[in-house]
Amino acid sequence: MSGGLEPLAPSEGVEMFLEHREPSIRESSMQNARHRLSVFLDWCEEKEIDNLNDLSGRDLSLFVSWRQGDVAAITLQKQLSSVRMALRWWADIEAVEKGLAEKLHAPELPDGAESREVFLEADRAKQALRYFDRHHYASRDHALIALIWRTGMRRGAVRALDVDDLDEDDQAIRVEHRPETETPLKNGDDGSRWVYLGPRWFRILADYVDNPDRNNVVDEHGRRPLFTTRQDTRPSGHSIYKWVIRALHPCTYAECPHDRTPAECEARSRSSVPSKCPSARSPHAVRRGAITNHLNEETAPETVSERMDVSLEVLYEHYDARTEREKMAVRRQDIPE
């Protein structure tokens, strides 16, 4: 650590940086920055870094390696950009060394990284859900995959759900922006909405709530999270990411298509990185698959847009993974013979 630096805890440094940025950026950008920096804070906590003064270029390299296996290359680029911006500001207030931000290097993007990412195909989703229905009914993984496939929710919205958000009368669930109790939504109050589940899907969630294996948690704000961890807390977005990835490994519900055994597989072994399975599907891939499936099932794009909190422009550009023939098959329903 260089002399002249003023001690600053990572959590305090992030809050100061966000307060500095808040007046000059949109709320959605603010939420993105908060999420990206929360991942950095998770890493600091795991590595027991309690003073930003202690950060070095080698530490930043280790952070990149730690995060690289869990997200797509383009997502990693965006997250590192937010951390780099924070590092420059922390240097200005003498919390880290000058020039440290330039030591945070993002891996080069592979060809095609900015194109549509993979999505969860309907056949795979149905196969996985049949497996959970039969063998692990109302487990955490069953409820989680069923919810995201049925609603296309972002993992931030999934994390924000409480038991009390379930409404049995309407077979629905409430998604609400609650930043004051640490569960903001990506689009703020505009993302708050009721989402219809239907009898089958609502029953899976209700039975999951009653599952004796589920930890019945009350958080520090007096809220009861729908999804909980073994540590009696509301899960982080990173935890939800890992749960989904692992639950959708093909070898969970079928034979491994890559001729691997769990002991030799780098996605399943004791020191595994779940995202290294060639068939891995992230929560975002499930969301994209759910949107695509809704469109293929002839749900009006306007309904999908409101239900899944995405503008029509963004829906068509980034989420609609239908083939041209699938699009034609849907359109032909409106064309007279």
Cβ partners under 8 Å of residue 28, min gap 6: 186, 187, 188
Same domain, 280 and 132: yes
Intervals of the chain under pLDDT 70: 1-3, 69, 72, 108-117, 270-271
Length of the chain in terms of residues written: 337
Same domain, 97 and 126: no
Give the chain's domain count: 2
Q: 4 lies in a domain?
A: no
Q: 2 lies in a domain?
A: no
pLDDT score at 92: 93
Q: 187 lies in a domain?
A: yes
Q: What CA–CA distances, in Å, run from 304 to 150, 151, 295?
A: 11, 9, 8
Same domain, 77 and 159: no
Residue whose structure tokens are 């972002």: 154
Q: 69 lies in a domain?
A: yes
pLDDT score at 115: 39
For the CA atoms of 186, 191, 196, 197, the dihedral, rounded to the nearest 10 degrees, stands at 10
Q: 309 lies in a domain?
A: no
Q: 94 lies in a domain?
A: yes
Q: 115 lies in a domain?
A: no
Same domain, 126 and 269: yes
Same domain, 135 and 279: yes
Q: 201 lies in a domain?
A: yes
pLDDT score at 1: 43
Q: What's the CA gap between 290 and 36, in Å, rounded?
A: 24
pLDDT score at 112: 39
Same domain, 131 and 97: no
Contact 80, 106 (CB under 8 A): yes
Same domain, 242 and 126: yes
Same domain, 72 and 169: no
Which one, of 133, 175, 134, lies nearest residue 154 by Cα?
175
Same domain, 47 and 95: yes
Same domain, 138 and 265: yes
pLDDT score at 116: 52
CATH of the domain at 237: 1.10.443.10
Domain coverage including residue 177: 122-284
pLDDT score at 3: 64
Q: Which two structure tokens, joined as six digits, stand for 310? A: 């995405």
pLDDT score at 102: 87
